[in-house]
Amino acid sequence: MNEELMFSTGTIHWSTPQDFFDKVNNKYHFTLDACADTTNYKVRSYFSEKTNGLAQSWQNDVVWVNPPYGKTISDWIKKAHDECSINCTIVMLLPARTDTRWFHDYIYGNPDCSITFIKGRLKFSGSKSSAPFPSMLVEFDKRIFTENLDKVNELLKPDEHVVDFISAFNNKIEVDGKVDVDIVDSIDL
């Protein structure tokens, strides 16, 4: 990957715009900022580089994470993926890099994930111009699979057998044993 192009500003730290965070926080009511410092924390309870959010438990928290966008980003995403199974909700602000290994390993096709692509480019706090990349919000929460399965079941008529449990679990619709289309692409959840 050409990091000079992707990080044309020369930084891996992109401080969350306060107005954007406030809108997201209105929905989630975060209790922990897992990746912050004394100048950019968004929640009263936060982990800094010194306290190392990667080495701490996020259990029982509603967690906001805007990680450094460099080589350690995959460590933060893996941490969110792993912590989501320990009773917490994690929302991450990430660059929308759908071609990366971390996107495919931990986000895409994960039944415990929800992705929201942000229209346009964010203007991060302290920046003179908008980011040189698109962004997305990724929510990790064990309840997402159950809620989405309930929505799919509501949309299906009782006498129709379009999606069985296994294909729904894999977020796919199978036709004659072949994957036809992702559920999220074919049903407005």
Q: Are strands 89-95 and 113-117 parallel, antiparallel or unpaired?
A: unpaired
> What does the alpha-carbon distance between residue 12 and residue 6 come to, in Å, rounded to a whole number?
10
92 close to 137: Cβ distance less than 8 angstroms: yes
**Residue 83: which of 103, 109, 102, 64 has the closest Cα?**
64
* pTM across the whole model: 0.71
pLDDT string in tens for the chain (189-residue length): 444 434 444 555 567 888 889 999 999 999 999 999 888 899 999 999 999 999 999 999 999 999 988 889 999 999 999 998 887 899 999 999 999 999 999 999 888 899 999 888 777 666 666 666 788 999 999 877 767 666 666 666 554 444 444 444 444 444 444 443 333 332 232
CATH class of the structural domain 3-141: alpha beta
Domain locations along the chain: 3-141, 146-186
125 close to 132: Cβ distance less than 8 angstroms: no
Q: Is 115 left (phi over 0), alpha (psi -120 to 50) or beta?
A: beta
**What is the predicted pLDDT for the residue at 86?**
80
Structure tokens at 175: 């036709």
Match 């922990």 to its residue by tokens: 32
